[in-house]
Structures are given as C-alpha cells and as structure tokens.
Amino acid sequence: MAGFGIQYLVHALFSAGPGSGPPWTPAHPFWAFSTAIVSIAAAVSIAANIQVRCAAIVLAVTILARALLFYVPKLAANPHDPGPWTSGFELLALCGAALVLAGAHTSIKLGRVLFAVSLVVFGVQHFLYAHFIATLVPSWILGHLFWAYFVGIAFVAAALSIATQIKIDLAATWLGVMFLLWVVVLHLPRVTAALHNGNEWTSLFVALAMSGGAFMLAGR
C-alpha cells in the first residue's frame, strides 16, 4: 500500500496529464494526493500495529470507492474489454483483504467473499486469454500454456476453498506463496528491466499485496 501511495504522489507531482500515470491513478492531482495520503497512512498504521482496524476500514472504503466509481462505468460501457475486469477486481480483492484485516466477524466474511469472487474472475481470464498470459511466463520456464491454465485452475480452486472455508488455511497459504513467487520470478525482473514503467511497478505491488492478503486469509 505504501508503494501505491508513492505512485500516486509521483503521478500528482510529475504527471503530464490524464492517462500518463500508472493504472488506478486518479487523473486530477487533488485525488492523487488524497489517495496517496490514505494509502501511506494506512500502511504506516498497519506496519506499526496502531489503530489497525480503523486504518483497514478506511483503506477498504477508499479502494471500494475507486473500483465502483472508476471501473463499473468502464465495464458497463465495454464489458468485453478485459482491462477493467482485471484492474477492477484487483481492487475488490484488495478491498476484501483490508476487510479481513479489520478483524470484525462481518467484515471478515465480506472480505472472504470479495477475495473469492475476484479469484474466480482471474481464473476465468486465464482460460479466456491463456495464449496471451502464456507470453508473460519467463522464457526459461517450460510449458508456458500449461502454466496459464494451471494458474486459472488454482485461482478457481482457491476461491472455492475460501468461499466454503474448506481447507482455507492450506489453500490461502499456497495462494500467498504463488503470488510471492511471481513477485520474485516474474515482476522483479520486469521492473528491473523497465524502472521508469509505472505499469510494471503497479503489477509488482499488486502481486505483493495479493500475497499478503492471501496470507491474512490463512490466518483468519
């Protein structure tokens, strides 16, 4: 979350205009600054274990508002565009993780649902766009198309486990491990090769946050 906050600040200070920042970044500097403050303050609060529930709820509301206000209209206008599905449900998954972190019984249940639904969407996308996803697998790994389908199955299986709470600790732990491996194997090399590409930094932070969210689910 701190990484996202820094991205918002960079966009607000140096962006040349709407659309020049990474995904999720509000075009107007005021909203970029506001979101940056919320993201960084929440990150500090969570890391320091100070008012974690309050920080998690504020974070969840902020993320949910962003998803509803920005991506729902895009999906309504063009439901066949995979981009808003991916980014929108990434936000919903992180909103779910924040609700789980808030720790209340109702928020944990809602957080699990949001996280599970998002995983189903990711899983379906891995089947629909398997050949494109296969191109993202590093060249030194064999069976690119196999891994695209395998991850799709893993997403759906993890979603079912989280939704039904059957073997949820095991499923969420392995899900967290999978995302963390992607950070090391896939995203860090891509960021290193393109340090000024905001999209690559965003993808790395998403994978890292999803890993943390999965590990939190395993602990609940």
**Tell me: the pLDDT tens digits for 165-184?**
999 999 999 999 999 999 99
Which H helix or E strand runs over 142?
A: none
At 90 the pLDDT is 95
At 36 the pLDDT is 87
pLDDT tens-digit series, residues 21-62: 444 555 577 778 888 899 999 999 999 999 999 999 999 999
Q: Label residue 41 left, alpha or beta by phi (over 0 means left) and psi (-120 to 50 means alpha).
A: alpha
Q: What is the pTM (predicted TM-score) of this model?
A: 0.91
Kindly report which listed range (7-11, 163-167, 183-187) carries the lowest average pLDDT score. Answer: 7-11
The CA distances from residue 86 to 120, 123, 206, in Å, are 11, 11, 11
Nearest-angstrom CA–CA distance, 106 and 40: 26
Mean pLDDT, range 89-113, rounded to an integer:
94
Which H helix or E strand runs over 57?
A: helix 52-66
At 66 the pLDDT is 87
